[in-house]
Amino acid sequence: MSFYYTRIVHFQDTDAAGVVYFANVLAMCHEAYETSLIAFGINLKVFFSNQEVAIPIIHASVDFRRPMFCGDELSIKLMPKGWGDDEFEISYQVFLKEVGKMWVARANTKHVCIHPQTRSRQKLSDEMRRWLLSFGSS
């Protein structure tokens, strides 16, 4: 099972070339991640400013097949993949409503669970493990 996040392209997402600025697509994918966490019952305010545990992104990549324009209706498909005790990856596919089945962009983020102060690795919380398991076996 995947999670889908729907998002209109805002004016602020675009640049003077008339299309979505490349790095903003990663921000949209992160919104999909946040929305999935909320849907699972996780409190974002606590999650992202927790003094005991943080899950920063250590790698991200993104590919673009077609430009996206202001007002475009996007559907972002989120799916965790390849996770271990203290890390996980998420893959995203961005679809344009009119275009159909082909992705217009796709992305990948790798997250590692750490202690915010020492930056040393620690195991994912039970809550995050349940969130990951909720997607079933990929």
Among 62-70, 79-87, 88-96, 130-138, the segment contacting a second copy (CB under 8 A): 62-70
Q: Closest approach of Cβ 53 to a second copy, in Å?
A: 11
What is the x/- site pattern for a second copy, positions 95-124, by CB under 8 A? --------------x------x--x-----
Is the Cβ of residue 11 or residue 136 nearer to a second copy in the bound state? 11
Question: Which 3 state secondary structure label does DSSP give 133?
Answer: helix
Q: Does 30 bind a second copy (CB under 8 A)?
A: yes
CA atoms within 13 A on the CB side of 68: 32
Is the Cβ of residue 98 or residue 136 nearer to a second copy in the bound state? 98
DSSP secondary structure, 6-66, as one string = EEEPPGGGB-TTSSB-HHHHHHHHHHHHHHHHHHTT--HHHHHT-SS-B--EEEEEEEESS
What's the CA gap between 117 and 16, in Å, rounded? 40
Is the Cβ of residue 93 or residue 109 nearer to a second copy in the bound state? 109
Q: Does 63 bind a second copy (CB under 8 A)?
A: yes
Among 66-74, 77-85, 86-94, 124-132, the segment contacting a second copy (CB under 8 A): 66-74
Taking Cα atoms as reference points, which of 99, 22, 97 lies closest to residue 64? 22
What's the CA gap between 18 and 80, in Å, rounded? 32
